[in-house]
Amino acid sequence: MTIEVRVPQLPESVADATLVSWHKQPGEAVARDENLVDLETDKVVLEVPAPAAGVISEIKFKDGTTVTSGQLLALIEETASVPGASAPAVMAPADGAAAPAQDAVRAAVASPAEAGGKLSPAAKRVAEENKLDPKSLVGSGRDGRVSKSDVVNYLAAKDAPGASTPGAPTPGVSKPPAALSPPPAAVPAAPPAPKPSLRGTRAEQRVPMTRLRARIAERMVQAQATQALLTSFNEVDLHLVNELRGRYKEAFEKQHGVKLGFMSFFTKACVEALRKFPAVNASVENNDIVYHDYFDIGVAVSTDRGLIVPVLRDADQASFAEIEKSIGNFAARARAGSITMEELTGGTFTITNGGVFGSLLSTPIVNSPQSAILGMHKIQDRPVAVDGQVVVRPMMYIALTYDHRIIDGREAVQFLVTVKQCLEDPARMVLGI
């Protein structure tokens, strides 16, 4: 029986998708739920699994083609599910070519654990992208098969020190082998290359933008063309935050299984400031100002494909531990490419941390249609005057880029002052003052 493989239903905000790469070609066997093709949208990469086991008989579109919801991508000749039943010969030029294809299908269906070393194709791809040893992964599927979710759980556990505590194994994770892999065999010396010219090769390479990169470029230009953007700065003394983190670091990890980082403090400080200055949490639609009575904070995450901004919903209701866990989960799944469209839509305010890359000062661009974004930067010990004395403190510059159409300079400056006060005296966030 012929099975159709179609483009899945795309979200309303996504008009089409680009076919990135096929993982199977006509005549190749495929197992049920095995990833056939990757589709890239403006925000995420979608995997299209095989709806049934069989052999690929026809591929309708080549790599790089733009497709829409419901379009026919490929045809699969389904294999017989009853033992002894004959399977149709698919894409066979002669009668004798049908048997090898059927044998390949039976191997893919009957022993999926053996195919690819017990890793599903999607899991294998994520493991290779993150340079993981397949032997360190334990699968939760049938016969120990490792799924993509097992690899994602491994990455999340890798970022959470509490999950690696002795005596508390994490599902999908096993101890790596103690023995080191043998060194690679020596490669024969290649003949000497011709001496390059003093000016070098001066080579050029032209590659098309990915859908995500093109969308980022479009949004950044749109924000600067349609909004009156202005940036204000302040600096924060983080020594009390550091003291709190040092004092409760071990107890926090032990109880919640996650590190107490800086992002939870900054998120809570921004929520307090947004409460006092609702215009910073608002957006513009035509000639209307839309004030949001909720706090959905976007957290910028850098990936190999580009910058994405998953949204922490109702951040005002989340605890410090919940914020840290959510951000760690976002980072792990962003690297694995498993962030969903719903997690990337919406948001009323954004926080971006260029300090992790060493940035001392920057002017971030607003994530339209939002009206403001807070930029965090590198923490650096600097001499400051405190009560007439020069002391060395861990200081950070913070920046607020905002839409001057609806946010006045007074509100922007006072917003930054509120964030500064909350971080320099964290008790304010507990007391709500």
| Residues acting as catalytic residues | 404, 408
114 token code pair = 């053996």
Fill in the amino acid letter for 235: E
What does the buried/exposed string (b/e) look like for 357-369 if buried means 16 or more CB atoms within 10 Å of the residue's CB? eebeebebbbbbb
CB atoms < 10 A from the CB of 45, how many? 18
CA distances 248 to 228, 261, 308, 432, Å, are 43, 11, 31, 21
Give the list of residues 6+ apart from residue 393 with CB closer than 8 angstroms, or none. 237, 238, 239, 381, 382, 384, 386
CB 43 within 8 A of CB 308: yes
CB atoms < 10 A from the CB of 433, how many? 10
CB 68 within 8 A of CB 48: no
CB 335 within 8 A of CB 158: no
Q: Residue 220: enclosing H or E segment and its boundaries?
A: helix 211-226
Which residues, in sequence order, are bridge partners of residue 18? Answer: 40, 66
First to last CA, the chain: 68
Contacts 24+ apart (CB under 8 A), 410-414: 411/277, 411/279, 411/280, 412/230, 412/232, 412/280, 412/372, 413/232, 413/234, 414/276, 414/277
Q: Can the peptide bond before residue 134 be classed as cis, meaning omega within 30 degrees of 0?
A: no
CA distances 257 to 154, 170, 253, 361, Å, are 14, 11, 5, 32
In the block, residue with structure tokens 């661009």: 365
Question: Any idea of the CA torsion for 404, 408, 410, 416, to the nearest 10 degrees?
Answer: -50
